[in-house]
């Protein structure tokens, strides 16, 4: 993922701190979403646990990160595409959660439009496919 943490922070009126930059860098390393526990393991010595929580919440609210819940209710984070904003997350693509390695992929597949019943108004739709990923299938 090719992002510039500093300019992302500026765009969203967030103060430039080394912890915030570090978190964004770490998450952007991989196109695969990273789980909160894994992030903690990687950053645990550099960034306080509580700070990490707060940074992740801020990023999610600002539309900088997607939060994808896996089957166990664990939060996973990935960098949003540039079109996301505070009031509208454009994460209408499909996520894929491998039931073997538990990785979450952002597929380049548009989430299909779903017709809502009368009275219901949908703002966003999250589709998660569960199965076996590329790598695990190859083994």
- The residue range among 14-22, 61-69, 115-123, 124-132 that interacts with DNA, by the rule CB under 7 A, is 14-22
Taking CB under 8 A as the criterion, which residues in 3-62 touch a copy of itself? none
Applying CB under 7 A, among 1, 7, 31, 49 the residue interacting with DNA is 49
Site stretch for DNA (CB under 7 A), options 8-16, 60-68, 93-101, 111-119 = 8-16
Rounded Cα gap, residues 83 and 75, in angstroms:
22
Supply the angle between the helices 49-62 and 18-28 in degrees, to the nearest 10: 70
Q: Which two tokens stand for residue 114?
A: 């779903």
CA torsion angle for 22, 109, 91, 137 (degrees, to 10)? -50
Do 78 and 69 touch, CB atoms closer than 8 A? Answer: no
Using CB under 8 A as the binding rule, the residues of this chain from 90 to 109 that contact a copy of itself are 94, 96, 99, 105, 107-109
User: For DNA, how many residues bind (rule: CB under 7 A)?
Assistant: 21
Q: Which does 80 bind (CB under 5 to 8 A by kind): DNA, a copy of itself, none?
A: none
User: How far apart (Å, rounded) are the C-alpha atoms in residues 62 and 24?
Assistant: 13
44 binds, among DNA, a copy of itself, none (CB under 5 to 8 A by kind): none
63: left (phi over 0), alpha (psi -120 to 50) or beta: left
Query: Judged by CB under 7 A, which of 1, 7, 11, 16 binds DNA?
Result: 16
Applying CB under 7 A, the residues found at the interface with DNA are 9, 14-20, 36-37, 46-51, 53-55, 73, 75
């Amino acid at each position: 993922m090719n992002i510039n943490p500093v300019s992302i922070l500026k765009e969203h009126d967030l103060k430039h701190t080394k912890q915030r930059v570090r978190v964004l860098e770490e998450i952007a390393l991989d196109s695969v979403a990273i789980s909160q526990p894994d992030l903690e393991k990687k950053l645990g010595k550099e960034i306080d646990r509580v700070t990490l929580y707060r940074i992740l919440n801020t990023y999610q609210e600002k539309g900088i990160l997607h939060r994808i819940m896996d089957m166990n209710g664990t939060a996973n984070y990935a960098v949003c595409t540039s079109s996301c904003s505070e009031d509208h997350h454009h994460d209408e693509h499909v996520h894929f959660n491998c039931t073997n390695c538990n990785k979450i992929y952002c597929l380049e597949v548009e989430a299909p439009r779903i017709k809502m019943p009368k009275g219901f108004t949908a703002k966003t739709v999250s589709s998660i496919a569960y199965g076996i990923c590329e790598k695990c299938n190859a083994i």
